[in-house]
C-alpha cells in the first residue's frame, strides 16, 4: 500500500495567474505535492 503524500490544494479564479503558486515551491517542503485547481 502506497504511503500518502501531503497535498496542497490551491484554488484560484479564472482570469487569475495560474502560476502564482510557483513561489510557494521555494517555501513549502518538497514532499508536498501541489494541485492547482481553477474555479470558473
pLDDT of res. 1: 46
Residue 35, in any domain of the structure = yes
Nearest-CA neighbor of 29 among 8, 11, 2?
8
pLDDT of res. 31: 72
- Tens of pLDDT, residue by residue, the chain (40 residues): 456 767 666 666 556 555 566 666 677 777 777 666 666 6
Range of the domain at 13: 7-39
Position 2 scores a pLDDT of: 54
| 27 domain-assigned | yes
Strand, coil or helix: what is 1?
coil
Report the domain count for the chain.
1
**Quick check: is 20 in a domain?**
yes
Torsional class of 8: left (φ above 0), alpha (ψ -120 to 50), beta (otherwise): beta
Q: Nearest 5°: CA angle at 28, between 24 and 30?
A: 110
Q: Looking at the domain assignment, is residue 30 inside a domain?
A: yes
The whole-angstrom distance between residue 40's C-alpha and the CA centroid of its chain comes to 17
Residue 17 lies in a domain: yes
Amino acid at each position: 500500500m502506497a504511503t500518502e503524500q501531503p497535498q496542497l490544494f490551491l484554488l484560484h479564479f479564472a482570469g487569475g495567474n495560474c502560476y502564482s503558486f510557483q513561489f510557494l515551491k521555494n517555501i513549502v517542503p518538497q514532499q508536498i505535492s501541489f494541485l492547482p485547481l481553477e474555479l470558473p
